[in-house]
Structure formats: C-alpha cells, structure tokens
Amino acid sequence: MVINGYTAEEINKLVNLAKTYKLITTGGSDFHCLNISKNDTIDSADVTLESAKQLIALAEKQTKR
C-alpha cells in the first residue's frame, strides 16, 4: 500500500513520531497543485476521527483563553 508516495511502513513511522512528540496527525495540508496524472487531489489524505476530535478540542481550548 502506498499513499501519496508513502508506504505503509513509512506512514507507521511518521504516526509513531507524532505520538512520541504529542503531535496531532492530519494527513497533511501542503497542497501545491492538482496533478491529475498522479490522482493528487485536496481530499486525497484522510483525517481520522480521533485527529479531528483532537483538533476541535484544541481549538475550543484556545478560544477559551
């Protein structure tokens, strides 16, 4: 399995790094252009429900300051 040029092993390593440093995984937002030949679209990387919940909680925490 390869997602956006990354193998499953590479993705697992990145996810583990994010966990180590307490980062929220999002699937990336560094979108430069549409490359139809590679099927790269803005929605080509999924964000997990857990990541979405973490982002919402962080946003709510910051708006309460």
15-38 residue pLDDT tens: 899 899 988 887 665 555 555 556
pLDDT for res 1? 45
- Which residue in the block uniquely carries the two structure tokens 């790094």? 17
> What mean pLDDT is reported for the chain?
76
Residues 2-22, mean pLDDT to the nearest whole number: 84
Confidence of residue 44 (pLDDT cuts 50, 70, 90): low
Residues in CB range of 24: below 8 A, 6 or more apart: 18, 51, 54, 55, 58
Residue 9 pLDDT exceeds 60: yes
Alpha helices in the chain (DSSP H): 8-20, 49-63
* Domain coordinates in residue numbering, the chain: 2-63
- Helix (H) / strand (E) element for 7: namely strand 6-7
Q: Residue 21: which residues within 8 A CB-CB, separation 6 or more?
A: none
